[in-house]
Structure 1
Amino acid sequence: MERLNYQHLYYFWTVAKEGGISRACETLHLAQPTVSAQLAVFEQAVGEKLLRKNGRRLELTDMGRVVFRYADEIFSLGRELTNTLKGRAGGRAPRLLVGIADALPKLIAYRLLEPVLNLPEPVQMVCHEDKAERLLAEISLHGMDLVLSDTPATPSGGSRVFTHLLGECGVAVFGVAALAQRYAPHFPRSLNGAPFLLPTPNTALRRSLDQWFDSAGLCPNVLAEIEDSALVKTFGAAGVGLFVAPTAVEEEIRQRYGAEIVGRVEGVRERFYAVTVQRKLKHPAVEAILEQARAGLALLDGME
């Protein structure tokens, strides 16, 4: 692809934003065959499929997500230029594109991103949640400034991808008061047959928990496997079952979800990483996050 056709990019961006060609045609005031043909030309120029059908809707492919985020940035700059030329106020805060692994606890993600909120110059954060492997693939293609994950990047991510350990903490089993009263005595032996909500097997925490269960000879009653950490806590707050969460945010879990510690899981640690690419290291917000870790102030240290 020697030269980017911005008109075709705009058609693609509109279709992706509207979720389908028909709605995009209404926005663009163009006929459906025209938009479909231009999309096909653009995908041919890119050399990859950017959209695929999912029922009646179109959804982005992995490459489509990368192109869409660049397009979003490009047309955001275009709107800013238009406003400036029209004499409107408008200093534009720099953007920080953050990918957050869906297995990463949301309370932890907030803690890790908190330094950005304290910068002297404002930064506009744009946060996207997805599976860690997809986010790490996107950052290697420069679709992200930073990925927060519970797993480090693998060597396949490319030599220009860097993993930074931001902090670590222990984990504990939580449950609403009735469950805590029932299963806290004789912990961890009491977990045999206990109703449990576990993260899915593709997460680092689940793999560590499975090893702990095996080594301790425990066999809980797994009622559900849930990838999203916030959804696990929501189910747990309803009293469905016990769940595991980082001890660094145990006070927030008590306050927000009404859950109590049943017991601490000895020997299991959760680690939290920032993944960057070489050309993005100069971003002031990324530097603020990494600097806090380098200074020994990682938000999770010493909080147990």
Structure 2
Amino acid sequence: MALNFHQLHIFYSVAERGSFSAAAQALHMTQPAVTMQVQSLEDYFGTKLLQRSTKKIELTEAGRALLPYAQRSMELIRETDAAMAAFTSKLKGRLQLGASLTIGEYILPRLLGPFGKEYPQVSISMKVMNTAQIIDDITSHQLNFGLIEAPVNHPEMLMEKVLSDELVLITAKDHPLSKMDHVTISDAVQYPFVLREQGSGTRLVMEEQLKAKEIDPNALEIVMELGSTGAIKSAVEAGVGISIVSASSVKHEVALGLIRVIPLSDVQFKRHFYAIQLKSALLPISAVTFLTFLRERDLQQWL
């Protein structure tokens, strides 16, 4: 019998999740099949790797020694898939992902079109929802991976920066600030704001930069909190207040002259978007190819 990656993957999943049943669910296998593969791996090495009890699974000394090698083998497979994705020609299958609000509404639709033209036999399914829902769907295997607007600390997730974004100050076309070529952030915070709800990725980035400029976010005059960027744009256009949103989300309104972007002279609101997936799962080649597309292409031609 030869050592094979499939058994290492199963062993790693059991060790990470602490039970055969949880690993079986994650791997879409039956529990007896998972148990049999781990036993085959133990037979190959001639030693016990897992100590089984009624309450939980614990690694033996041999299992603890094997775990980092199993992890490295998974990382190598991921790197191999990513390297070969650039050479994929007739890619088929289904691309399933989740995306948080700004990414799903304003970024990905402009990128999925070019990707779909390049890989016309891939069907694409995207859910737009908040980060917590994306993580829930990934852990319950409803989604392969997700794209989110702020980093998360989750023990089961791998996270990677894949896109960059910039937030900009927007006003109505007849707002007092709209007549200025640029303003300072201190100038801007003198006016009423319309913002996303507390905890949103956009708001977190804004508040962090305000604090860096020694401006208390709680001192802002917030006249309205809204749950979508579309609602914020409508409120700003109506003169309710000013806001800070993703530059990608207002290109249409700016082109039509409905909203103005006012450059800030003393601060930049830069952020990254992140891809997340389960540590113990391997992505289908359609997902690997899409992430490679995000990493390696000049995305600004579409954004």
Provide the TM-score with structure 2 as the length reference.
0.58
**Cα pair distance change 1:283/1:302, threshold 3 Å:** closer
Residue 212 of structure 1 deviates from its aligned partner by 2.7
**Structure 2 residue identity aligned to 1:206:** R
Contact 2:102 2:246 in 1 (8 A): no
Q: 1:256-291 deviations in whole A, cap 9, x for unaligned?
A: 68211122372421211222335452231x223211
Q: 1:37-64 deviations in whole A, cap 9, x for unaligned?
A: xxxxxxxxxxxxxxxxxxxxxxxxxxxx
Tell me, yes or no, if structure 1 residue 235 matches structure 2 residue 235. Answer: yes
**Cα pair distance change 1:112/1:266, threshold 3 Å:** farther
| RMSD after superposition | 3.2
**Structure 1 residue identity aligned to 2:99:** I
Contact 1:99 1:144 in 2 (8 A): yes
Corresponding residue SS for 1:121: coil
Provide the TM-score with structure 1 as the length reference.
0.58
Residue 143 of structure 1 deviates from its aligned partner by 0.8
Contact 2:111 2:302 in 1 (8 A): no
Question: What is the rounded CA distance, in whole Å, between the counterparts of 2:298 and 2:196 in structure 1?
Answer: 24
Match of 1:247 in 2: 247
Question: What is the rounded CA distance, in whole Å, between the counterparts of 1:138 and 1:122 in structure 2?
Answer: 25
Count of aligned pairs: 208
Residue 174 of structure 1 deviates from its aligned partner by 0.9
Tell me, yes or no, if structure 1 residue 206 matches structure 2 residue 200. Answer: no
Q: 1:48-107 deviations in whole A, cap 9, x for unaligned?
A: xxxxxxxxxxxxxxxxxxxxxxxxxxxxxxxxxxxxxxxxxxxxx733322122354621
Question: What is the rounded CA distance, in whole Å, between the counterparts of 2:103 and 2:302 in structure 1?
Answer: 20
**Structure 2 residue identity aligned to 1:137:** D
Match of 2:136 in 1: 137
Question: What is the rounded CA distance, in whole Å, between the counterparts of 2:162 and 2:257 in structure 1?
Answer: 26
Match of 1:49 in 2: none
Question: What is the rounded CA distance, in whole Å, between the counterparts of 1:298 and 1:146 in structure 2?
Answer: 22
Question: What is the rounded CA distance, in whole Å, between the counterparts of 1:191 and 1:289 in structure 2?
Answer: 39
Corresponding residue SS for 2:197: coil
Corresponding residue SS for 1:178: coil
Residue 210 of structure 1 deviates from its aligned partner by 1.8
Question: What is the rounded CA distance, in whole Å, between the counterparts of 2:215 and 2:203 in structure 1?
Answer: 16
Tell me, yes or no, if structure 1 residue 283 matches structure 2 residue 279. Answer: no
Question: What is the rounded CA distance, in whole Å, between the counterparts of 1:183 and 1:220 in structure 2?
Answer: 21
Larger RCO, structure (CA 8 Å, separation 6 or more): 2
Out of 194, 197, 201, the residue aligned to residue 191 of structure 2 is 194
Residue 242 of structure 1 deviates from its aligned partner by 1.3
Match of 1:8 in 2: none
**Cα pair distance change 1:220/1:191, threshold 3 Å:** farther
Contact 1:183 1:191 in 2 (8 A): no
Tell me, yes or no, if structure 1 residue 169 matches structure 2 residue 165. Answer: yes
**Cα pair distance change 1:261/1:184, threshold 3 Å:** same
Between the two proteins, what is the percent identity of the paired residues? 14
Gaps of 5+ in 2: 1-20, 22-91
**Cα pair distance change 1:163/1:276, threshold 3 Å:** same
Rg comparison, structure with higher value: 2
Residue 250 of structure 1 deviates from its aligned partner by 5.2
Question: What is the rounded CA distance, in whole Å, between the counterparts of 1:301 and 1:166 in structure 2?
Answer: 16
Match of 1:224 in 2: 224
Contact 2:183 2:263 in 1 (8 A): no
Gaps of 5+ in 1: 2-92
